[in-house]
Amino acid sequence: MNREKLLCPSMMCANFGNLKGEIEQLEAAGFDIFHMDVMDGNFVPNFGMGLQDIEYICRKATKPCDIHLMIQKPYDYIDKFTNMGCKIIYIHPEADIHVCRTLQKIRDTGAKAGIAINPGTSFETVENMLYLCDYVLIMSVNPGFAGQKYLDFITKKTIRFVDEAEKYGGYKVMIDGGCSPNKIAELSKIGVSGFILGTSALFGKGRPYNEIIKELRSL
């Protein structure tokens, strides 16, 4: 595939002691979307980014911000995050008894709607929801914690989502979890549109972000 991949820093992994500097450096380097995780300690056994941090990133960033809601009853929080400025909202179908209603509400606010696909969630389980999706975020690790290794059996499912995208309106397929440079190169070739970048490829490397993005763009 020759289209340019979307490279999305996972801000949960950023240096919160210098959040303003992180935003400025990532934008200057040319990354595409700021990715932010919200966890409630219930749907996943962890707590994610604070609302004040999310609001700050949305306010300071000039690039789009997305939000990954790993929470129960996401419908109740759509307005909160779109009002902050989030342009893409991902929900988990297992956390919402009326998924299509929630996806439609996201679109009605003017944001892009997405679903997050857990490792154990099949294509068939979410097939009818895909008509309302602008993005599909495939979890290649179990959600809730950074630094996990990519689960290789996810690749077969990813190919299915990529191959079926046009049938359901042309959603973009994104990968979240264990996105090492090798995996980015491999999955770009099968048509994955974008990657959530954490500690496997971006943060904690001790290198300038502009050097890293140049290498990732070339893969």
3-state SS string for 47-113 = ECCCHHHHHHHHHHCCCCEEEEEECCCHHHHHHHHHHHCCCEEEECHHHCCCHHHHHHHHHHCCCEE
Which residue is catalytic, options 37, 66, 96, 134? Answer: 37
- What are phi and psi for residue 82, nearest 5 degrees? -70, -35
Q: What is the dihedral of CA 129, 49, 183, 191, to 10 degrees?
A: 30
- For the four alpha carbons of 173, 93, 200 and 40, in that order, the dihedral sign comes to positive
Report the number of secondary-structure helices (H) and strands (E) in the chain: 8, 8
Whether 40 is catalytic is no
Q: Which of 86, 130, 93 is nearest to 110 (CA)?
A: 86
- Rounded to 5°, the CA angle 191-131-187 comes to 15
SS3 assignment, position 175: strand
Whether 108 is catalytic is no
Which residue is catalytic, options 32, 96, 134, 176? Answer: 176
> Which residues does the annotation mark as catalytic?
37, 176
